[in-house]
Amino acid sequence: MSTTIERQWTTRLRKRATGKLPPEKALPDTQPAYVASWIYVFGVATIASFVMVILSGFILALRGPQWWHVSSVGHFVNSLHLWSVEILFFSMVIHLWGKFFMAAWRGGRTMTWMTGVVTFLVSIATAFTGYASQTNFDSQWITTQAKDGINATGAGSFFNVLNLGQMLMWHIVLLPLVAVLLTAVHVVLVRLKGVVPPFDDKTGAAK
Amino acid sequence: MAFLWSLASLISLEGKGHYIHWHFIYLSVANFIVILLMVLVFLAALFVPFPGRASRKESK
């Protein structure tokens, strides 16, 4: 009986997950001393602004374009969505610069770095489809300018920036799903491998 | 609310935008200011002391 339980996929998955990432490692009480620097703050600042983007996006999705174009509260939430994105990219670029100059891929952190890179690219695509879905003259201008560039790559055959419905679906369903999943994997990898130490760290953690 | 309107009138959004054009580099002044701010914040993040850093090092 116990052998049967041991062979269950749920049992094996739980043991593997808790073995690799025990609760005290997943949600640690303390961090190494070198993490006490402002440069380490921008990763979590990016996540905080991402949460604001998602929450304001939920409200915009509930009420729709007419609401965000005409009502004062709609204008406010629309602006909240835009400025959260601005802060997200601002923080993410500083996070990227910081990690690039400390070579954050060291010590077996290649996948942490690569998931960050792909998340950055997905965020650009998500922001672009957002600008294309505003339903105003700005989005009209952006999409008519972008179509020639995208058609020149051949991607226009399945990614039509002039198709508002398609752009909106990419913006509110497909790309956010990918961005959230990648961010989750990125954070789990940071927890698994630990925060990259500075070059001059003498504790032996740096590799 | 009137205060916010007066703030908005500080920058005129009428007319043509301002651009920086140097060889192949062509970007709006607004984007240039944002890039400049990012560089400043990056440098500040490197050099501004983090609260409680000294006590953490001591406790370690």
Among chain A residues, the shortest Cα distance to B41 is held by: A94
Q: Tens digit of pLDDT per residue, chain B (60 long)?
A: 677 777 776 777 777 888 999 999 999 998 999 999 999 999 999 999 998 776 666 555
How many whole angstroms separate alpha carbon A145 and alpha carbon A139? 10
Enumerate the domain spans of chain A. Answer: 38-90, 103-197
Class at the top of the CATH hierarchy for domain A103-197 = mainly alpha
pLDDT score, position A67: 96
The contacts of residue B26 (CB under 8 Å, 6+ apart) are B19, B20
Within 8 A of A33 by CB-CB distance, chain B residues are 53, 56-57, 60
Q: Do B50 and A33 touch (CB under 8 A)?
A: no
**Cβ-based interface (< 8 Å): residues of B facing A:** 34, 37-38, 41-42, 44-46, 48, 50, 52-53, 56-57, 60
Averaged over A59-83, what is the pLDDT?
A: 96
ipTM of the complex: 0.83
Closest CA to A86 of A61, A59, A56: A56
φ, ψ dihedrals at B19, nearest 5°:
-130, 150
**Residue A203's pLDDT band (cuts 50, 70, 90):** low
Among chain A residues, the shortest Cα distance to B37 is held by: A90
Neighbour-count burial of A156, counting CB atoms closer than 10 A to its CB (0-12 exposed, 13-18 middle, 19+ buried): middle
Closest CB to A38: pick one of B34, B38, B45: B45
Answer yes or no: is pLDDT of A134 > 60.
yes
The predicted-structure confidence for A100-114, as pLDDT tens digits, reads as follows: 999 999 999 999 999
Type of residue at A100: F
Averaged over A43-59, what is the pLDDT?
A: 97
Q: Do A33 and B57 touch (CB under 8 A)?
A: yes
Q: Do A33 and B38 touch (CB under 8 A)?
A: no
Give the Å distances, CA to CA, from A6 to A15, A20, A22, A23, A191.
Answer: 10, 18, 19, 21, 27
Residue to mutate among B33, B41, B59, with most A CBs inside 10 A, is: B41
- For the beta carbon of residue A90, count every other beta carbon within 10 angstroms: 18
Averaged over A30-38, what is the pLDDT?
A: 89
Rounded (5°) CA angle A183-A84-A169: 65
Enumerate the domain spans of chain B. Answer: 19-47
Neighbour-count burial of B34, counting CB atoms closer than 10 A to its CB (0-12 exposed, 13-18 middle, 19+ buried): middle
pLDDT score, position A34: 87
pLDDT score, position A206: 46
The residue that leads in pLDDT, A31 or A106, is A106
